[in-house]
């Protein structure tokens, strides 16, 4: 199953740049700099060339690179338009649908971001906070009318595609309400106990063996050490524990934070994978510049028919000097794996055995001998390097972020 992931576009219009601060402040904030704010986007709907508009450049890049084959879903993880402007939202949603068509992707869907629902009175005087989204054309967040009713009415919808289910979760349902809690809900999102129970029932009763969960707000800290804020969903840990307790492998995608990272929730076998997607075009928050890149991603995974576990890879691309290129060392590296089926101990013993016979192991031969090398996380790579060196006197050279490996005996 392959997903093209685009998140936090924060598209803007040059015609709106002079909007005043008083009409554009975040809930609970006296001033954030008007329409631009602190996280303005770099995609302007008036720019119609691929060099100036990085969203338009995505399909062109993938087609030119021959990477447009067999993508099952295009998914946007929210914040399509900065500050929920109707015309910008409509154009970007249409543009995302056009990209799916250009790439022959049959399924396009999205989740609501805090910037996609009205949180300022001036923006929803004539309707509910999510009325703009409900009136988008093509219909948002997916084509199927029954699934749309589920999403807007129950705050989640489940799309089943073969053995894999995709759960779209609306974490923005209370934005625009709740008086003094407006700021918290805008920043953190919301998941109720009732929503958790509903999703649990849908997952456990489904014939699907694995699930991808997509939401905008992050349910837990993005990084255990580098993310010191408490701006995650208050009920997020209960939500993740529920996913774990279903006994089915789950992969959670979210946006909002603009802080790319990939990890497991905890060390348990059924622990959900959590991928925090980068922003396609937002300005970095203060203090984030050194580790920040605007990116898009492709998640590609398969379900092991024997173990019922998922294994796959995440590929990422950086926007650099007016074009997309393979991601470097800042942000998410270009290619990282997950879901190895073999233990690191068994992999090390196999590598050591091959190296002792032939002297070296590298390139395609390494993957032929040890297929699970494709599915190593960054932590796995560090641990395997240490294990090989300390236990087998084998050196492992790993090219950061591109999955190229070489192994040789230390004496060589």
3-state secondary structure the chain: CEEEEECCCCEECHHHCCCCCCCCCCCCCCCCCCCCCCCCECCECCCCCCCCCHHHHHHHHHHHCCCCCCCCEEEECCCCECCCCHHHHHHHHHHHHHHHHHCCCCEEEECCCCCCCCCCHHHCCCCCCCHHHHCCCCCCCCCCHHHHHHHHHHCEEEEEECCEEEEEECCCCCCCCCHHHHHHHHHHCCCCHHHHHHHHHHHHHCCCCEEEEEECCCCCCCCCCCCCCCCCCCCHHHHHHHHHHCCCCEEEEECCCCCCEEEECCCCCCCCEEEECCCCCECCCCCCHHHCCCEEEEEEEEECCCCCCEEEEEEEEEEECCEEEECCCCCCCCEEEECCCCCHHHHHHHHHHHHHHHCEEEHHHHHHHCHHHHHCCHHHHHHHHHHHHHHHCEEEEEECCCCEEEEEECCC
| Residue 405, phi-psi category: left (phi > 0), alpha (psi -120 to 50), beta (remainder) | beta
CATH number of 344-409: 1.10.10
- Write down the pLDDT at residue 178: 53
With a cut of 70, which residues of the chain have pLDDT below it? 20-34, 37-39, 119-127, 176-186, 224-228, 230, 287, 289-290, 412
- Burial label for 408, CB within 10 Å (0-12, 13-18, 19+), is middle
Quick: pLDDT tens for 102-136: 999 999 999 999 999 986 665 556 667 789 999 99
- Write down the pLDDT at residue 25: 46
Distance CA 188, CA 316 (A): 26
Domain with CATH 3.60.21.10 in the chain: 2-338
Asked whether the beta carbons of 83 and 187 are under 8 A apart, the reply is: no
Domain with CATH 1.10.10 in the chain: 344-409
Quick: pLDDT tens for 281-340: 998 877 676 678 999 999 999 998 888 899 999 999 999 999 999 999 877 899 999 999
Distance CA 285, CA 275 (A): 19
Q: What does the block give as tokens for 352?
A: 């050591």
The pTM of this model reads 0.92
Distance CA 301, CA 264 (A): 16
Long-range contacts of 184-187 (CB under 8 A, 24+ apart): 184/28, 185/27, 186/26, 186/27, 186/28, 186/114, 186/119, 187/114, 187/231
CATH number of 2-338: 3.60.21.10
- Write down the pLDDT at residue 27: 46
């Amino acid at each position: 199953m392959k997903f093209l992931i685009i998140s936090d576009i924060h598209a803007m219009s040059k015609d709106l740049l002079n909007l005043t601060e008083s009409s554009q402040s975040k809930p609970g904030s006296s001033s954030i700099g008007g329409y631009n704010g602190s996280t303005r986007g770099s995609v302007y709907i008036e720019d119609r060339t691929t060099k100036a508009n990085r969203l338009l450049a995505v399909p062109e890049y993938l087609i030119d690179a021959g990477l447009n084959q067999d993508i099952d879903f295009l998914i946007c993880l929210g914040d399509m338009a900065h500050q929920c402007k109707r015309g910008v939202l409509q154009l970007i949603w249409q543009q995302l649908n056009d990209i799916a068509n250009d790439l022959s992707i049959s399924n396009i869907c999205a989740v609501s971001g805090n910037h996609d629902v009205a949180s300022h009175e001036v923006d929803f005087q004539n309707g509910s906070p999510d009325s703009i989204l409900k009136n988008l054309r093509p219909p948002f967040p997916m084509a199927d009318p029954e699934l749309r009713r589920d999403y807007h009415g129950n705050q989640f919808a489940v799309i089943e595609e073969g053995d894999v289910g995709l759960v779209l979760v609306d974490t923005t349902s209370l934005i625009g309400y709740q008086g003094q809690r407006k700021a918290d809900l805008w920043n953190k999102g919301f998941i109720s106990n009732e929503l958790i129970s509903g999703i649990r029932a849908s997952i456990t009763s489904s014939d699907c063996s694995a699930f991808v969960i997509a939401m905008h707000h992050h349910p837990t800290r993005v990084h255990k050490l580098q993310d010191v804020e408490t701006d995650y969903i208050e009920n997020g840990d209960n939500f993740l524990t529920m996913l774990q307790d279903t006994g089915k492998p789950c992969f959670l995608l979210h946006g909002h934070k603009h802080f790319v990272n990939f990890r497991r929730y905890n060390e348990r076998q059924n622990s959900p994978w959590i991928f925090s997607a980068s922003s396609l075009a937002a300005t970095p928050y203060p203090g984030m510049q050194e580790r920040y890149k605007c990116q898009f991603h492709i998640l590609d995974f398969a379900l092991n028919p024997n173990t019922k576990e998922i294994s796959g890879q995440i590929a990422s691309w950086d926007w650099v000097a007016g074009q997309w290129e393979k991601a470097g060392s800042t942000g998410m590296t270009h290619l990282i794996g997950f879901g190895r089926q073999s233990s690191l101990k068994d992999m090390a013993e196999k590598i050591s055995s091959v190296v002792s016979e032939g002297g070296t192991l590298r390139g395609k031969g390494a993957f032929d001998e040890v297929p699970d090398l494709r599915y190593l996380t960054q932590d796995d790579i560090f641990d395997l390097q240490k294990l090989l060196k300390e236990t087998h006197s084998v050196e492992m050279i790993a090219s950061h972020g591109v999955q190229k490996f070489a192994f040789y005996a230390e004496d060589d």
